[in-house]
Every structure is written in C-alpha cells, then in structure tokens.
Amino acid sequence: MMHYLRPHEFTVGALDDCLSGSLLLPRTASESPFLIGTTAKGTAALCLGGQFRFVGFECEGNTAWSGIIVPEVQVEVDAASSPELRGRGASIGCARRQGDKLGILGRGADDGRSLFIVLANQLAKSGDEAANFERWQVVLGAGMDRRVLFTVDVSAEDS
C-alpha cells in the first residue's frame, strides 16, 4: 500500500519519540509498523506486522524500533466484523470498544498475557457493554483528505 504523506504530517524517530495516537511506519523490510496508545503503565506500542504481530510493550526508552512517525491518526472499525456475530470470542488483534474507551487487544512482550492498548478514551459511554471488531483500519485526516494508512483483518488469519 502506498503512503503519500505531506512533509508536515510526519517526522522520523524511535518509539521513545512517539506520542499516543501515532502510527510508526517502517522504512525498510526489516522494520515493523506500530500503533501507539496507552496502558496503565504509560505510552505503549503494539506491533502490527511480522513475527511480533499484536505484541505490545512500553515505549519509554525504546530506541531499538524506529521509522516514520505519523501523529494524530484515528482508528475506524468495520461494524459488521464482530466475532460475536459468528458465535466466537475476541481474538488477539481485535479492536474493542468498551465503556468510554477504544483499544486493541494484544499480548504483553514480557509475559504473553492479554494486553489492552487504549487508543481513544473519554468517548461517549452508555454502560459497560463491549463490542469487538476483527476488521479495522488506521486513517489520517478527514473528508477529502482522509487516507487509509494501514488495515487489519484478524478474521482472515483465523481462517
């Protein structure tokens, strides 16, 4: 997928330089894309590709992973992609809207335990119900300027 970015829409740096709400795009075939959000411990990165797909860890002090930093991205979900519609539970990599938060389910790098990386919070809340989504995408901009930078389909991996 081609990513055309205007000069003011990105910078270059390491995970340690990223703020929540950023996408770190690879510059080379050996680098991986990361989506940046938060956990209870602080700013965290979720790997979106390669052998560490959907593994998350803290960003602070991490200079080992670097690339093109695109700040202020948004996540959109395919409302028809809930695994519950097919009688299944949520898989690692699903987007989840729960309470006033939207995040991605991942695995911790240290212990492999479930990890919820929050991408948006303080959203409108109507209770404690949750919904999971197997298809989602990372976008930049709105309206005519809206561009899809990365897509995920967890259901394709489970087939």
Among candidate residues 43, 46, 51, 49, the one with its CA nearest the CA of residue 19: 43
In terms of C-beta distances under 8 Å and separation of at least 24 residues, what long-range contacts does 35-40 make, across chains too? 35/73, 35/75, 35/104, 35/117, 35/119, 35/138, 35/150, 37/103, 37/104, 37/117, 37/118, 37/119, 38/117, 38/118, 39/115, 39/116, 39/117, 39/118
Does residue 21 lie within any of the structural domains? yes
Residue 158, pLDDT > 70, answer no
Does residue 117 lie within any of the structural domains? yes
Residue 139 has a pLDDT of 97
Residue 159 has a pLDDT of 43
Does residue 1 lie within any of the structural domains? no
Does residue 152 lie within any of the structural domains? yes
Does residue 106 lie within any of the structural domains? yes
Domain count, the chain: 1
What would the pLDDT profile of 83-142 be if each residue is shown by its tens digit? Answer: 776 666 788 999 999 989 999 999 988 887 889 999 999 888 877 788 899 999 999 999
Among candidate residues 83, 60, 73, the one with its CA nearest the CA of residue 156: 83
Does residue 150 lie within any of the structural domains? yes
Does residue 2 lie within any of the structural domains? no
Among candidate residues 32, 121, 112, the one with its CA nearest the CA of residue 75: 121
Residue 3 has a pLDDT of 73
Among candidate residues 145, 8, 159, 4, the one with its CA nearest the CA of residue 71: 8
Give me 63's structure tokens.
């200079």
Give the structural domain span for 78. 7-158
Does residue 99 lie within any of the structural domains? yes
